[in-house]
Chains A and B, each alone.
Chain A
Amino acid sequence: MKTIQFREAVCEAMSEEMRRDEAIYLMGEEVAEYNGAYKASKGMLDEFGADRVIDTPISELGFAGIAIGSAMNGNRPIVEYMTFNFSLVGIDQIINNAAKIRQMSGGQFNCPIVFRGPTASAGQLGATHSQAFESWFANTPGLKVIVPSNPADAKGLLKSAIRDDDPVIFMESEQMYGDKGEVPEGEYLIPIGVADIKREGTDVTIVSFGKIIKEAYTAADELEKEGISCEIIDLRTVRPLDIDAVIASVKKTNRLIILEEAWPFGNVSTEITYQVQEKAFDYLDAPIVKINTADTPAPYSPVLLKEWIPNSNDVVKAVKKVLYR
């Protein structure tokens, strides 16, 4: 094992795959000469040259479409959005073309492309720069959606995403790029669509994904002192959803909390809640509790932002609620 930063894990995954396969290129704003807005492509221009590590103008719609077109013609592009907030400028190409080309052409074309970049909030950036669109993308048939929470998962999953023959949305976080974690030496892949039990426990299941899962770890540490044992499941992939992993855990603990940094209406937690009540209703000893961001655009002020975003205290409260303590 070696210890690297999240941004290095992303960089290693892209670089290793680009060494393997000439058809892959990286495209996006500031990815080449600036080494990435968050330095996730550091050194890649030097290694692969300007034909394969390509700076774009601020034209999210255009470069998304160009990348998709090239994917229909033999390339395997990695498109970086500086953040997924800006993917909205190009979302027409993702939803109407990348996700549908295969189906509409009766399987003649496929679209092996990865759209990656940071998602969700990253401090006091205000309403337009703090959004989590996992559930928007996950709602769309034709796409796969991956949201890792640590360097090892990021590397293994990004490599799988790049090798995948369908379009994949791969979501990171500005606030995770500096996170350090152990990563296996040498090559490894992590399969898309498989959740990971990050902590085993017996009293309650906490399902989460992405950077917000860290709040669940903190809560679990605290609850352990009170003798409460939490099982933490990291979905890692949101679409396809590893509902079997969630159900298996719920059958063991009989209580479920879902922690997701997203607006509460119709999000990933809502889907999990539906599927669990459908498939494991009789195993539940308490109503499922979901913890999300407030039902408002993200506020700027630090006091409001604190209220808006979920934290470990909210998780502790939720756990006690489902345990009727």
Chain B
Amino acid sequence: MKEITKEVYLNWYEEMSFWRKFEDKLAQVYIQQKVRGFLHLYNGQEAILAGALHAMDLTKDKMITAYRNHVQPIGMGEDPKRVMAELYGKKTGTSMGLGGSMHIFSKEHRFYGGHGIVGGQIPLGAGLAFGDKYFKRDAVTLTFFGDGAARQGSLHETFNMAMNWKLPVVFCVENNGYAMGTSVKRTANHEDIWKLGLGYEMPCGPVDAMNPVAVAEAFDEAIARARRGDGPTFLELKTYRYRGHSMSDAQKYRTKDEVAEYQKIDPITQVKDILLEKKFATEEELKEIDKRVKKRVAECEKFADESDFPDKEIMYDVVYEQEDYPFLAHKPE
């Protein structure tokens, strides 16, 4: 694995802080009604993205996930301003305002969405890997989904084929304890989701996903296996979401104490402690980073605020490749 150097820790600290604050900003502008619809935030789960990015080859590997998807494309290289603009429904957004919160895409940076139907992206991720294998591209696809999605039939059908065809894919369940208000405990007769891999003889196991180092190590091994041609791995990333499922969630299914327990092992704090302990950075230097993060987030907000809404024609222009598709009229002129 690439060494986890001082620079890596510093980068993790800055990027994870940025993702956290980016999401906090979205929550804030949501209340101001600048962002509407559903809004699923990633707070608490950042170590997964940080660790995965460290293990990936960002010149060719791919990523796909569900609707909790604002910061992953940023991690892959997309301009966060464009992600924020998408949530504002502006024409400078990643999908020109057509996709919205749950549907962020960045073809340029090999981020394949942003999917709103639970479990729908699991076969797609295997399909991306199928294409890479077919064209001998030597690339690996990281396919993320939630603990709730692990109960969809799509997972089982896909696991079977991906294993049978040795597709270069890593299946990653982000077990944050809950699917909306339903705890993992209540969805199955077992709690170790990683064991679903056993029936397919797919290499699988649990990962402490509050710790980016543990995540990076697990991904390094899984990605290497896929790249060697030995097929998929199934990782259960044990994590936690701090905020509600979306913006209207009274969270009666858990206690404040439970949230506080996880905040004690917060991934950003863990990295911060290492930076200070190893004397990789001083408190002052970290404060400088915090300031920079704040500024970067403010720039995103400003960009999104000042961007224009899309023109009406775009609604039709993006549906088909065919340029003169004869759409039906839907209301009187």
The answer to the question of A307 belonging to the interface, with a C-beta cut-off of 8 Å to chain B, is yes
Contacts of A134 in B (CB 8 A): none
Contacts of B298 in A (CB 8 A): none
Contacts of A88 in B (CB 8 A): 117
The answer to the question of B330 belonging to the interface, with a C-beta cut-off of 8 Å to chain A, is yes
The answer to the question of B242 belonging to the interface, with a C-beta cut-off of 8 Å to chain A, is no
Closest to B317 in A: A296
Measured between alpha carbons, how far is A278 from B40 in the docked complex, in Å? 50
A60 to B: closest C-beta gap in Å = 8
Interface size, A (range)? 35 or more
CB-based contact A302/B89 at 8 Å? yes
A291-B332, A304-B312 as given contacts; A55 in contact with B99, CB under 8 Å: no
The answer to the question of A19 belonging to the interface, with a C-beta cut-off of 8 Å to chain B, is no
B184 to A: closest C-beta gap in Å = 10
Measured between alpha carbons, how far is A89 from B119 in the docked complex, in Å? 10
Neighbour of B119 across the interface among A58, A124, A299, CB < 8 A: A58
- Chain A 50-86 interface 0/1 with B at a Cβ cutoff of 8 Å (1 = within): 0000010111111000000000000000000000011
Q: SS class of chain A's interface: helix, strand, loop or mixed?
A: loop
CB-based contact A89/B117 at 8 Å? yes
A83 to B: closest C-beta gap in Å = 10
CB-based contact B331/A318 at 8 Å? yes
- Chain B 291-316 interface 0/1 with A at a Cβ cutoff of 8 Å (1 = within): 00000000000000000011010111
CB-based contact A126/B37 at 8 Å? yes
Identify the A interface with B (CB < 8 A).
29-30, 33-34, 37, 55, 57-62, 85-86, 88-89, 123-129, 263-265, 289, 291-297, 299-304, 307-308, 310, 314, 317-318, 321
- Can you name 29 A-B residue pairings with CB atoms under 8 Å? A30-B182, A34-B182, A34-B253, A55-B186, A62-B153, A89-B154, A125-B38, A126-B98, A126-B102, A128-B102, A128-B103, A128-B116, A129-B38, A129-B102, A291-B330, A291-B332, A293-B330, A294-B330, A296-B319, A301-B89, A303-B309, A303-B310, A304-B89, A304-B97, A304-B310, A304-B312, A314-B331, A317-B333, A318-B332
Identify the B interface with A (CB < 8 A).
36-38, 86, 89-91, 95, 97-103, 115-119, 148-149, 151-154, 179-182, 186-188, 252-253, 309-310, 312, 314-316, 319, 327-333
